[in-house]
């Protein structure tokens, strides 16, 4: 397959293994560009992209913006708090207005699940979901797979353990869909209150304790504990969470010797992951960030670099 035959990147649930492979292979070429002295190719000259972030973001936003610059696309970024949304304009109106200024692709992060689907159906521009509520964060899933593939050479038959707040995590959702499609075995662990009620729908095994889940794992991924969840009464205290579910070298000692440690960021050091592990030799947390730019360059190329078939 040479072309991504879709207008938008909304989630990995709807994407095929073939499409994911194409994206990851294209990203490999893009990473080479990032290693050059002149990190720029003229490919998307004259194409325009809007970054619309209704939620705070450092990594994802910087990553998308750099990817656009490296590909020579023109871009504007709008933060939710400084946009007309606060004046009561609807999302559809906002984007339609920007669209008539010549925007061909919208990158959106939004607190409402499904918002990127809604937008994609209402505008002609391509939409890339940069995280919608508790639904999906497809570019994070892709960059995680890219990083693992780079280190292990494959995804098939790897055991990946995802630990933490699975229920509220769009990162977990995208990874669960994506990695299983690529042939990995995915297991999850975390407090029962932070597990989605419909885990069987994902086809993954859930463990109440971390030690069991990481047994023989090739990859262990910690998720950020969203502190605001504590106020909802889903776990008693950060300290207790850290005691029971925080990743430390001891806790994951049952994993494979060459296990990879991942975290999508931002990290709460000492809560879901110990500094010893996060900064240790098995950690590929910073590689994940580098991969992010390459994967986003690949997506921009695949969505914008060529004529849309009518």
By the rule CB under 8 A, 153 interacts with another protein:
no
> Rounded to an integer, what distance in angstroms lies between the CA atom of residue 272 and that of residue 275?
10
Interface characters, 274-303, with another protein (x: CB under 8 A)? ------------------------x--xx-
* Nearest-approach distance from CB 19 to another protein, in angstroms: 13
| 41 vs 76 by CB, closer to another protein | 41
> Rounded to an integer, what distance in angstroms lies between the CA atom of residue 174 and that of residue 161?
14
| 36 vs 227 by CB, closer to another protein | 36
CA dihedral for 34, 147, 252, 265, sign (positive or negative): positive
Nearest to 192 by CA among 241, 133, 242, 132: 241
* Nearest-approach distance from CB 295 to another protein, in angstroms: 13
Decide: helix, strand or coil at residue 52.
strand
> Rounded to an integer, what distance in angstroms lies between the CA atom of residue 131 and that of residue 70?
22
| 71 vs 172 by CB, closer to another protein | 71
By the rule CB under 8 A, 37 interacts with another protein:
yes
Interface characters, 169-188, with another protein (x: CB under 8 A)? --------------------
Helix (H), strand (E) at residue 161:
strand 159-163
Among 16, 17, 18, 36, binds another protein (CB under 8 A): 36
| 177 vs 301 by CB, closer to another protein | 301
Count of residues in contact with another protein, rule CB under 8 A: 25
By the rule CB under 8 A, 192 interacts with another protein:
no
> Rounded to an integer, what distance in angstroms lies between the CA atom of residue 196 and that of residue 166?
7
- Residues lying near another protein in the complex (CB under 8 A) are found at 2-4, 26, 28-30, 32-33, 36-38, 40-43, 46, 71, 298, 301-302, 305-307, 309
């Amino acid at each position: 397959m040479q072309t991504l035959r879709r207008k938008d990147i909304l989630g990995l649930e709807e994407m095929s293994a073939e499409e994911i492979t194409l994206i990851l292979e294209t990203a490999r070429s893009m990473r080479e560009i990032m290693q050059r002295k002149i990190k720029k190719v003229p490919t998307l000259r004259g194409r325009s992209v809007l970054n619309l972030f209704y939620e705070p973001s450092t990594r994802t936003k910087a990553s998308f913006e750099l990817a656009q610059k490296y590909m020579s696309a023109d871009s504007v970024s709008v933060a939710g708090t400084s946009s007309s949304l606060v004046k009561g304009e609807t999302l559809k109106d906002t984007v339609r207005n920007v669209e008539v200024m010549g925007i061909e692709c919208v990158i959106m992060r939004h607190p409402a699940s499904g918002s990127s689907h809604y937008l994609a159906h209402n505008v002609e521009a391509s939409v890339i979901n940069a995280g919608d509520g508790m639904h999906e964060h497809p570019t994070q899933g892709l960059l995680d797979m890219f990083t693992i593939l780079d280190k292990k050479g494959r995804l098939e038959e790897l055991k990946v353990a995802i630990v933490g707040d699975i229920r509220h995590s769009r990162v977990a959702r995208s990874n669960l869909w994506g990695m299983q499609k690529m042939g990995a075995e995915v297991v999850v662990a975390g407090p029962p209150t932070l597990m989605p009620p419909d885990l069987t729908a994902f086809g993954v095994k859930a463990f109440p304790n971390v030690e069991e889940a990481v047994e023989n794992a090739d990859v262990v991924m910690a998720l950020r504990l969203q502190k605001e969840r504590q106020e909802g009464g889903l776990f008693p205290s950060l300290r207790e969470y850290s005691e029971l579910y925080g990743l430390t070298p001891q806790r994951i000692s049952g994993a494979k010797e060459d296990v990879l440690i991942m975290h999508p960021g931002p990290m709460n050091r000492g809560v879901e992951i110990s500094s010893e592990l996060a900064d240790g030799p098995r950690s590929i947390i910073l590689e994940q960030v580098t991969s992010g730019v390459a994967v986003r360059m690949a997506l921009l190329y695949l969505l914008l670099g060529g004529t849309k078939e009518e």
